[in-house]
Amino acid sequence: MGLTQCGAGPTVGLDDIRTVANVGTGTMGHAIALQFALAGYATRLVGRSKSSLDRAMANIRADAGTFADAGLLRDGESVNDVLARITPVIGYEQGVADADFIIEAIAENLDVKREAWREIEQFAPKDAIFATNTSGLSPTSIASVLERPERFVVAHFWNPAHLMPLVEVVPGERTDPQVLDTTVDLMKRIGKKPAKLNREALGFIGNRLQMAVLREEFHIIQEGIADAATVDDVMKYSLGRRWNLVGPVASIDLGGLDVFYNISTYLFDDMDNGTGPSPLLAEKVKAGDLGAKTGRGFFSWQGEDGKRIIGQRDAALLQALKDDAAVEK
């Protein structure tokens, strides 16, 4: 890489990034690796076993096939062309060697991530950018084990990572600003919509908003105002549709700030302002009703109905990507 020094940290240009190492082979890891390969990057998929890598590559082939069917591959390319850019590798020593950008998507556990990065840094080039796909853990805390935390940044993809455009790019306390900017530019180059945060906050933006909505949804359900299906319908057929086009803050500008101020004078006091986990959510978890992974949560996900809902969601997200691509052309 062509690097210059800016304070304590490296300055990395976007065009210096040619090889990407993706650490993690699960739901997020395989989809993130696919994103880089689709954009033309030589990509190493780093896993712990041949079986995990084989499963990930099978999932990548299936997702790449979906993109091919939708006409979303680069001109003249085939699924095999995309897969040829991905090299499965067992272990960090070979997996991250000579990589210019290394992104980790492993268990959402601070200690697990710290241990992984402590080991990755031993084998990675001194000028590589480090990125974590954490959903909300502190990048400063994760990077505290690194000798060079200035090159560490969050690149938080949203699930399903190959279909959702957003990537939150979040600095730690010691992240070099140019590392942050290069990561933002890289996300744009692979076709994502990066959201650059000025500073870190637990949960970043997306999960803070999601949990605020869910806290009130749980409260509405627990108070017997409406059931889960009704609450979800209200979101899907009103706010969900509008906010997809015009964000919440812009929406209240359009509606009139005085109107929303007047609503807030009486409504905020009646809403849930609890600081701990929802008792309703805790009850579900205690009962082992964890959602789709166990077949039941607030809804039943057993049989064909669950598959149909997920299929409809993914088809709609894929169509949105096709619409985005058509506009950008």
What pLDDT, in 10s, does the model give residues 46-95? 999 999 999 999 999 999 999 999 999 999 999 999 999 999 999 999 99
Domain boundary assignment for the chain = 3-196, 207-328
326 has which bridge partners? none
**pLDDT band for position 3 (cuts 50, 70, 90):** very low
User: Which amino acid is located at 300 in the chain?
Assistant: S
Q: Is the pLDDT of residue 311 over 90?
A: yes
* Torsion of Cα atoms, 305 then 307 then 312 then 315, to 10°: -170
Instruction: Report whether CATH 1.20.1600.10 matches the domain 207-328.
Output: no
Percentage of residues in the chain with pLDDT exceeding 70? 96
What's the CA gap between 30 and 46, in Å, rounded? 10
Sequence-distant (6+) residues with CB within 8 A of 127 are 1, 3, 10, 12, 100, 151
Q: Is the pLDDT of residue 5 over 60?
A: no
**pLDDT band for position 10 (cuts 50, 70, 90):** low
Q: In this predicted model, what pLDDT tens digit does every residue of 152-169 receive, in sequence order? A: 999 999 999 999 999 999
Percentage of residues in the chain with pLDDT exceeding 90? 92
Average pLDDT, the chain: 94
Could you tell me which of 2, 6, 18, 303 has the C-alpha nearest to residue 179? Answer: 6
Q: In this predicted model, what pLDDT tens digit does every residue of 118-133 receive, in sequence order? A: 999 999 999 999 999 9
**pLDDT band for position 11 (cuts 50, 70, 90):** low
**pLDDT band for position 12 (cuts 50, 70, 90):** low
Pair 197, 171: CB distance under 8 Å = yes
Q: Which two tokens stand for residue 277?
A: 């986990």
Q: Is the pLDDT of residue 184 over 50?
A: yes
Sequence-distant (6+) residues with CB within 8 A of 282 are none
Average of pLDDT values for 204-214?
97
Q: In this predicted model, what pLDDT tens digit does every residue of 221-253 receive, in sequence order? A: 999 999 999 999 999 999 999 999 999 999 999
pLDDT for 305 equals: 84
How far, in whole angstroms, is CA 98 from its chain's centroid?
25
- CATH domain 3-196 topology: Rossmann fold (3.40.50)
User: Which amino acid is located at 257 in the chain?
Assistant: L
